[in-house]
Amino acid sequence: MDQGRFSASGLWERTCSSIRARVPENVYMQWFAGIVPVRMDDSKIVLGVSDDIYAKWLTENYSDILTDGLLSANGKQLKFEIETGHSVSFPEEDAGEDEAGAFNLESAHGFSTDSGTAPNCLPGYTFDNFIVGEENRYAYSAALTAAQAPGKFNPLYIYGSTGMGKTHLIQAVANRVHKTDSDTVVRYVTCEAFLNSYLDSLRTHSTFKSHFEFRNHFREVDLLLIDDVHQLGGKDQIQEEFFNTFNTLYNAGKQIILTSDKRPSEIRGLEARLVSRFESGVTTQITSPTTFETRLSILQHEQKEQLVKLSPDVIHYVAERISSSIRTLKGALMRLVAYSSMLGRSIPMAEAEGILADMLDKEAQTRKVTIDRIQQVVAEYFSLRVSDLTGTKRPKNIAEPRMIAMYLSREMTEHSLVDIGNAFGGRNHATVLHAVAQVKALSAQNQDLRHNISAVKRKIQG
């Protein structure tokens, strides 16, 4: 027997169990069930699919899911490659019929019938277990308002990088509304699922009886939640369909909630009329967990769900060293938990550092930032000179960028308050401390300020 193939098969079976628990059943059946494990070695696993289109879609849309699934199954990071030209077979889905013989749409599209959870949503995504920090407080408040008073913030558009908690937040809305009134028609889908359903409705042998039935499925609802709407970019035909669906719901006063990794105006290939619709309500951003306290709270909450417990010093270490995203933070925790489980003992600090070495290296690369670099990027972003930031002039167009630069110098470098003050024209440490506190307080209320800070950070790290 080919040992590489045997090992690949065992690992892939465990990976599929992990993936299946994280994605809707229809998504699993359509994109993961037909993947064939080909071979593996110590550094990677090769997965087989039928053609280039299949491979491209997996790579562009599900790399994170595959990576996280392999990590959970393997206990350590494992790269994957997708190889085309393999014969794949998909298990048949039993969509079933009701007693009258009518097709069951909810079952066919993976929607949950659990009365305690909104259709197509995970029961663990609630407001109660969403950790609120400075970087997501406004988004949390807006989502909670949308759940308590649907239509007040319409549409609600939440954007931020991958792994920041956007899906958790909007599924929390869906679950809260469904729990409050189970008769409310709630429809949560990813943008990809909306696209797939649309294409499916145009086929002769469709799970929908007609394209009209597809439209009713998404338009005869009280609450529509769409994840990752940036995937609409460049798809003209589906944009037309989505535009009409949006207008139908909006004009009827139904709540619409959207998430994306970008602001509407930053989505390449998105029609101006959709940009206008998306920006007509409340737009709010979620950024990476900037404070140690928020990261620690996230890890402590996750630990409650684990049978294997890590020592407090290891938890604190992870919170201090991992700050790029919530997904990375949780991934580090899960890796340590997996190792502890496999070894049957606790993980000491020195060993934890080794287990997380590759993740810590990536984090360190994002932190190798100098005060000079921050000053240059901030000055360029706000159309100023570096000398404006280090000088004594105090008009608002200079004072605010200067505070942002001081704040980022504190957050992104290891320099002391005294060092930062000296770099900004010999200011004292109290001035720097005040600037940092001021930016934190203002950014909790000012969405434009949060956006500017995030944009500057991306330029600094890019």
Pair type for strands 156-159 and 282-285? parallel
Higher pLDDT among residues 91 and 261, named by residue: 261
* Domains along the chain with CATH numbers: 3-83 (3.30.300.180), 109-285 (3.40.50.300), 292-367 (1.10.8.60), 371-461 (1.10.1750.10)
Q: What would the DSSP string read from start to end of 213-241?
A: HHHHHHHS-SEEEEE-GGGGTT-HHHHHH
Question: 442 and 350 in contact (C-beta within 8 Å)?
Answer: no
The two structure tokens encoding residue 330? 């949780």
Please compute the mean of the pLDDT values over residues 57-68 and round it to a whole number: 84
Is the peptide bond prior to 155 cis by the omega test (within 30 degrees of 0)? yes
DSSP per-residue string spanning 399-422: HHHHHHHHHHHHHHS---HHHHHH
pLDDT of residue 285: 86
Residue 226 burial (10 A CB sphere; 0-12, 13-18, 19+) = buried
pLDDT of residue 302: 83
User: CA-CA distances (angstroms) from residue 90 to 7, 19, 49, 55, 87?
Assistant: 21, 16, 11, 16, 10
Range of weakest confidence among 183-192, 268-277, 357-366: 357-366
Per-residue pLDDT at 2: 43
Q: Are 391 and 440 in contact (CB under 8 A)?
A: no
Q: Which residues pair with 159 in a beta bridge?
A: 260, 285
**Rounded distance, CA 209 to CA 399, Å?**
61
The reported pLDDT for the residue numbered 108 is 34
Q: Which of 168, 328, 197, 186 is nearest to 259 (CA)?
A: 168
| Distance of alpha carbon 448 from alpha carbon 327, whole angstroms | 25
* Backbone phi and psi for residue 107, each to the nearest 5 degrees, phi listed first: -65, -40
Give the pLDDT confidence of 293-350 residue by residue, as tens digits. Answer: 888 888 988 888 777 788 999 999 898 888 777 888 888 888 888 888 878 888 888 8
Shortest CA distance to 424 belongs to which of 456, 392, 394? 392
- How far apart CA 35 and CA 87 sit, in angstroms, is 9
For the segment 203-211, the average pLDDT, to the nearest whole number, is 60
